[in-house]
Structure 1
Amino acid sequence: MSLPPEHAAFYLACLQRDAARLAEVGRLGLPAVVPSCPEWTVESLLRHVAQVYLHKIEILRLGARPEPWPPAGLDERDALELFEETRTAIVVALTEAGTDRPTWTFSPSDQTSGFWFRRMALETVVHRVDAELAHDVVTPVDRELALDGIDELLTLMLGGPWWEEGDTKHPVDATIRITSAGRSWTTRLDATSATVVPTAEGDVDAEVFGDPDELLLWLWGRRDLNMDQSAGDDAAVLEFRARVAECTT
């Protein structure tokens, strides 16, 4: 799978912008507790994102997951200094790799470096919001990036081949539709599968709708859903969200 150059450029621009904002918010105070990840402070959030960047830099270099991981000594580094260093390094690594280099990813259908352009842009924007929540200074997510993030979460993370053993605490048996900005994703769930199609066709048990920013952050557990934004079986919507949480933690 080849990522078009204009998409790669878009993801890099989003990554750079949101990483810069994350650093800016980090400087407002490292001890602040992150309400969306209450076991973290802003300092530990920055360390986490820096480590994610370092891990993907090594994947791009090796074409495989680095072992052992993580490297020693990261906890002794200044969190802001480490983050500033790695946010520059991940952009360099992606740019040098390009979009067609064979490498490990967790996508069954895309084993190229292009996969990591989108994944790193979306990783960064969600954690940028985490830091902003800690300081009550939340800013919007880019509309197109948010739509892309909804698509990634539903079609890849939820719709991947992860459920065949029925390893879920939420074996919801329902069809749920997510609709935003003229796009829809319809998910058929049972205990051993999650089938996602990017259409608005067919009957559903419930539909959730709203702005891309709102729905992306709800799906990632960063904001509550106003139930006026859903129609149909409310219990199925709650179980659907819990099933999403299982494949994003």
Structure 2
Amino acid sequence: MDTSAHLESFAVQTKTFADWVHDKDPETPVPTCPRWTLADLVSHVGGTQRMVATLVGQRLTDPSAAFAATDTGPADPARWRAWLTETETAATEAFDSVTDDTPVWDPSGADSGVPFWARRLFGEITVHRADAAVAVGARYDVAPEHAVTAIDDWLETLTSPGYAQARPEFVDAIPDTGQSLHFHATDTADGWLVRRKPDLVVLERTHAEADATARGPAAELLQVLTRRRPLDDARTLQLLGDRELFDHWIEHMDWVTD
């Protein structure tokens, strides 16, 4: 997916998310984010979108002003849909005046801020739509190719040099140098291999032998990798090899719920 495709799906998914949460009880717990209520989830989704709108729209290479622009959602849940529509529109329109080469701060360290943030918006709403679905009892569907893109976003971000520096515990998701995990989407041709080097976890888009392999449909693989579904509840997912290593990886991937 390119920047425009990321943004198109982001807009559609945000509308669905907004429809699901509109006028629901703010105190509804979000089981997939145990410390959050539905109000927390709405504020996080809209606040992140507002932050990206500021970051990209103002072409910031220092993120502090964008972090300051993040705010909370309205207290009245009857206003949530309108507020989320506003944040989505602001985020989408921020990309109208930039190109993929426009300098914008990128926390991954890759110096590709505009494509990074378009993909992050897509990945964020794809995963948080799953949170909303569980909280309000909606049906969560994601096409295999979209699930693959969201897995790309999740894994590429968490294994990036920038995140290794900012969150060194992500490197420790694989305890020992040389150990590897393979994630295999069975309904597409996609695969990911993560391998531990001394100070970094590296990601390859490939199929390969590994110490632990999780294989199954992309949508279920996405939910397990992002801690939205326990492995034991993923009926179509198969784990081969070192279960302890796989569990250790999942336990360290607490980026969204932290």
Q: 1:72 to 1:30 in 2, by over 3 A?
A: same
What SS is found at the alignment partner of 1:67? helix
- Structure 1 segment 84-95 matched on structure 2, within 5 A: 84-95=85-96
**Residue among 172, 177, 187 paired with 2:175:** 172
2:124 and 2:166 mapped to 1: Cα distance? Answer: 28
Partner of 1:112: 113
2:245 counterpart of 1:236: yes
Which position in structure 2 is the counterpart of 1:123? 124
Residue identity in the other structure for 1:15: F
User: RMSD of the alignment, in Å?
Assistant: 2.8
Q: 1:30 to 1:66 in 2, by over 3 A?
A: farther
Moved over 6 A (4+): none
Matches of 2:145 and 2:207, distance apart in 1: 19
Q: Which moved more, 1:22-31 or 1:157-166?
A: 157-166
* Matching residue of 1:18: 13
The reply on whether 1:198 has 2:205 as its aligned counterpart is: yes
Query: Matched residues in 2 for 1:224 and 1:247: separation?
Result: 16
Q: 1:171 to 1:13 in 2, by over 3 A?
A: closer
Q: 1:67 aligns with which of 55, 58, 65?
A: 65
Residues 129-144 of structure 1 correspond to what in structure 2 (within 5 A)?
129-144=130-145
- The two structures have a TM-score, normalised by structure 1, of 0.85
SS of the aligned residue for 1:187 comes to strand
- 1:131 alignment partner, SS class: helix
Determine the structure 2 residue equivalent to 1:209.
Answer: 215
Per the alignment, residue 3 of structure 1 pairs with none
Unmatched 5+ stretches in structure 2 = none
Aligned twin of 1:27 = 22
Partner deviation per Cα, 1:69-119 (whole Å, 9 max, x = no partner) = 435974666451422211111111123334332111112223332221111
Match of 1:39 among 35, 41, 44: 35
Measured against aligned partners, the alpha-carbon deviations of 1:150-204 in whole angstroms (never above 9, x if no partner) come to 1222233124354479943655222111111222111112663212211223x31
Task: Return the letter of the residue paired with 1:141.
Answer: V
Q: Alpha carbons of 1:207 and 1:10: their partners in 2 closer, same or farther (altered >3 Å)?
A: same
Number of residue pairs the alignment of both structures matches: 243
CA distance in 2, matches of 1:10, 1:73: 27
Letter paired with 2:52? K
Tell me the TM-score normalised to structure 2 length.
0.82
Partner AA of 2:226 in structure 1:
W
Give structure 1 stretches of 5+ with no counterpart: 1-5
Secondary structure of 1:185's partner?
A: strand
User: Contact 1:158–1:194 at 8 Å: present in 2 too?
Assistant: yes
The percent identity for this pair of structures is: 24
The C-alpha deviation readout for 1:109-138, integer Å capped at 9, x for no partner, is 233322211111111111111111101213
- How many angstroms apart in 2 are the aligned matches of 1:110 and 1:57? 18
